[in-house]
Structure 1
Amino acid sequence: MFDIGFSELFIVAIVALMVLGPERLPRAARFTGLWVRRARAQWYSVKSELERELADDELKRSLVRTRDELRDLGAELQNQGRELHDDLRREGQGIEKSVRHAEKSVKDAVAPVTRAATTAAAPALAQEPAEKDNGAIADEAVAQSASAEVEAPNQPAAEPVADAGPPDPRP
C-alpha cells in the first residue's frame, strides 16, 4: 500500500522506541493500529459503495438499452400487425368482389330461364281461380323455374366421385 520494506519499518520502530520510550510505545502502537484499521474500513466502505454505484449505473444503462429495444420491437410488431390487417382487408375485398361477380353471373344466367318459365306459367296461372294473390303467383313461378335444371355457361359438368370406402384392414 505504501511500499514500505522491512528495513524501513525496522528503522521507524527503533526511532519510535527512542522517542516514546518503552512505557508509552505499546499504547501508541495500539492507537496507531486503531487508526489504521479505521482508515482501512473507511477505504473499503468507500470502495464498495463506489462499486455498488457503478453496478447500479451499469444496471440502469442495461435497463435503458432493454427498454429501447422493447420499444423498437413493439413498434415493429405494430407495423407488422397493420400490414397484416391491410393485407387481410385487401384479400377480403377481393373475395367480396369475386362473390359479387359470381352472384351477378348466376343472376344473369338464371334470368332468361326464369323469364321463360314465368312466361310459360302465365297462361296456366290465368286459368286458376282469381283468389290467389300476386305473392302466391310469384312464389309458384319461382318454384317452377327452380325445378328446371339450369347449367352455367362455359362450365363442364362435375363428375361424381366414387366412394373408396374404408381401407382394408387385412395385410
Structure 2
Amino acid sequence: MFDIGFTELLLIGLVALFVLGPERLPGAVRTAGLWIGRAKRSFANIKSEVEREIGADEIRRQLHNERILDLEREMKQSIMPSSPSASSPSPQSATPPPDAANLSATSPAEEAKPAETAPVPRPDRPAEP
C-alpha cells in the first residue's frame, strides 16, 4: 500500500529513538500500536458492514426481479391461456369433447371464463408445503 521497505522503517526507528529517547520510546511504540490496531479493526468493521449491505441489496434486487417475472408470467397466462395442442394433456386436465348433453348443461357465461391454472413450480425453489 505505502511501499515502505526495511531501510525506511530503520530510519524512522532511529529518528524516533533520537527524538523521544530510550525511556519514552517503548511507551510511544505501544501507544502507536494500539491506535493502529483500533484503526484496522474499525476499517474491518466498516468493510464487513458495507459488504453485508451490498449483499442484502443484491438479494432484495433479485427477489424483486423474481416477483416481477412471476407477475409477468401470470399476466401472460391470464391473457393467453395455453392451448391443449401446445402441451401434452395430462389425465387430470384432459376434458372430453363437448357433446349435446354437455352443451345444454353449461351456460355461455361459464364457457367464456378462462380456466384457472395452478402456479407452476420453479425448478430453483423447493416446493412449498
Taking structure 1 as the reference length, the TM-score comes to 0.48
Q: What does residue range 1-171 of structure 1 map to in structure 2 within 5 Å?
A: 1-81=1-81, 92=98, 95-96=99-100
Cα deviation, residue 76, structure 1: 2.4
Counterpart CA distance in 2 for 1:2 and 1:59 is: 36
Q: Name the aligned partner's letter for residue 15 of structure 2.
A: V
Taking structure 2 as the reference length, the TM-score comes to 0.62
Percent identity of equivalent pairs: 41
Deviation track 1:92-135 (CA, whole Å, cap 9, x = no partner) reads 4xx339x88xxxxxxxxxxxxxxxxxxxxxxxxxxxxxxxxxxx
Cα deviation, residue 80, structure 1: 4.5
Q: Name the aligned partner's letter for residue 61 of structure 1.
A: R
Cα deviation, residue 37, structure 1: 0.3
Cα deviation, residue 81, structure 1: 4.3
SS, match of residue 27 in structure 1? helix
Which runs of 5 or more structure 2 residues have no equivalent in the other structure? 85-96, 105-129
Counterpart CA distance in 1 for 2:75 and 2:53 is: 33
Higher helix content, 1 or 2: 1
Counterpart CA distance in 1 for 2:11 and 2:18 is: 11
The number of residue pairs the alignment matches comes to: 93
Which residue number in structure 2 is paired with residue 135 of structure 1?
A: none
Which runs of 5 or more structure 1 residues have no equivalent in the other structure? 85-90, 101-171
